[in-house]
Structure 1
Amino acid sequence: MNDFDLRLLESNKIGAKTLDELFRKERSIVSKRVELLKFMPPRGNLGYDHLKAIHFFLFRDVYSWAGKDRADMGIYGFFGKEDSSFCRGELIPKEADKIFTKLKEQNFFKNAKDINELAKNMANFMSDLNALHPFREGNGRTQRFFLRDLAKNIGYKLDLDLITKERMRAACIDAMSGKNTKLETLIKSNLRGFRQNLDLEQSRGLRLK
């Protein structure tokens, strides 16, 4: 076990002694927090603090550093996972400021002329967020909920948990190489206006009667 994983294990609040035990218990605990988050989302202004608040909500019962990024934890240098290398820890505050300042300047995508432009904008943002990868653990789950809040803010429903882990992983790996097409397609296929969702739910209800 390397020092990076050892630090992760030592910071858990659930008494896990191995990484396998930690991740198994984490999944169980966080899955319950995910359901709560759907009905009790943390308040925020869709800035970086909002992202951190989501992470804290999901992982506060598991990790002592929930809601803190790698810079807050003093973890510097590159962070790699599978075939990807993410932002250096010491650069996270500066890069996060760039990403979320740009999001605000784009008016949180409220001015997108159609769903194609909206999906492209959201894919670009998610790609940047994934490259930042600010947290030691839990980045994917946190950013998916942030995208959900971002879509809701402009009248859309987006649930990226409906996408299989394999398809999402492949799209994110492509995005790390600057190819956002797969990510854009996945987002577009799952974006629904609230009116569309209501119509779908009503039609399903009629078929069941």
Structure 2
Amino acid sequence: MAKYTGAKDVYPDTGVLVNKLGITQADDLDFMEKEIVAPKLLKLQLYPVRGLFDDKHLKKIHRYLFEDLYGFAGTYRTVDIAKGNTRFANAYFIADNVKELTKAMKQMNATNRDIFSKEMADFFAYLNHIHPFREGNGRTNREFTRQIGLNFGYELDWTKIDRDTYMNASIKSIHDETAMEPIFQRVITAEEPNLQIKTKHTNRMKQGIKNKGYGL
């Protein structure tokens, strides 16, 4: 959490984001994030957040995952942020950037795994560079891309990739949109799309998270 030192939305002298639990120690907040968010990610396997694979859908996923932790859950960041030498997209342009990206995503070529992996790697790289949320971008982006894959008839299994391999590729993708391609080659579980997978996901979305405004 030290990366937030000096920001206005952190507890003084801690670098820890203001949160609903009042936690001021970075390790404690990291632990509680995992305790709260991990079960929600599992629940989404059966009951995905309903949406149209657009900017609103992305925000609803973030809101569902992080609403117990942060007041900003489900809303785009309003401050510019950076990690190391990498600066992410200007906060002012986030809304337009995400709308343009998700609109283009719906035209992706999903003919086979090789082609779809390239398309998804490109999409992920741009979404990663936008980094639309103050915290929780990685988990939100992975869940969003998992649901996108299902909508195109592909299952994505993120457990096939270890954390370090994923993180290294994710960091590289900021400057090289092909960096995530080997990752998607591994997490996409089939050579070709399966209509039954898409239909199953559509039916699950109809029964998805209906409370607290997560339905369409």
- The number of residues matched between the two structures is 186
Q: Which residue of 1 aligns with 2:7?
A: 3
For 1:183, which of 154, 161, 180 is the aligned residue? 180
1:63 to 2:84 alignment: no
For 2:131, which of 123, 126, 133 is the aligned residue? 133
DSSP 3-state at the match of 2:82: strand
Cα separation, partners in 2 of 1:10 and 1:136, compared to 1, 3 Å = closer
1:43 to 2:47 alignment: no
Q: Which residue of 1 aligns with 2:148?
A: 150
2:167 and 2:85 map into 1 onto residues whose CA distance is 11
Runs of at least 5 residues in structure 2 that lack an aligned partner in the other structure: 198-216
Runs of at least 5 residues in structure 1 that lack an aligned partner in the other structure: 199-209
Q: Which residue of 2 aligns with 1:171?
A: 169
TM-fit CA distance, 1:26: 1.3
Q: Higher Cα Rg: structure 1 or 2?
A: 1
2:22 and 2:184 map into 1 onto residues whose CA distance is 37
1:30 and 1:69 map into 2 onto residues whose CA distance is 19
The CA RMSD over aligned residues, in Å, is: 2.1
Q: 4+ residue runs of structure 1 moved beyond 6 angstroms?
A: none
**Length-normalised TM-score, structure 2:** 0.79
1:162 and 1:28 map into 2 onto residues whose CA distance is 21
TM-fit CA distance, 1:189: 1.6
**Length-normalised TM-score, structure 1:** 0.81
Instruction: Compare 124-133 and 151-160 and name the one that shifted more.
Output: 151-160
DSSP 3-state at the match of 1:30: helix
CA distances 1:104-140 after superposition (whole Å, capped 9, x unpaired): 3x1xx3x433211110000000000000000011000
DSSP 3-state at the match of 2:60: helix
More helix by share: 1
* Higher relative contact order (Cα pairs below 8 Å, separated by 6+ residues): 2
TM-fit CA distance, 1:9: 4.3
What is the percentage of aligned positions where both structures have the same residue?
A: 33
The one-letter code of the counterpart of 2:185 is K
Q: 1:144, 1:161 within 8 Å by CA — same for their partners in 2?
A: no
Q: Which residue of 2 aligns with 1:203?
A: none
Cα separation, partners in 2 of 1:13 and 1:190, compared to 1, 3 Å = same
Q: 1:59, 1:66 within 8 Å by CA — same for their partners in 2?
A: yes
For 2:29, which of 22, 26, 47 is the aligned residue? 22
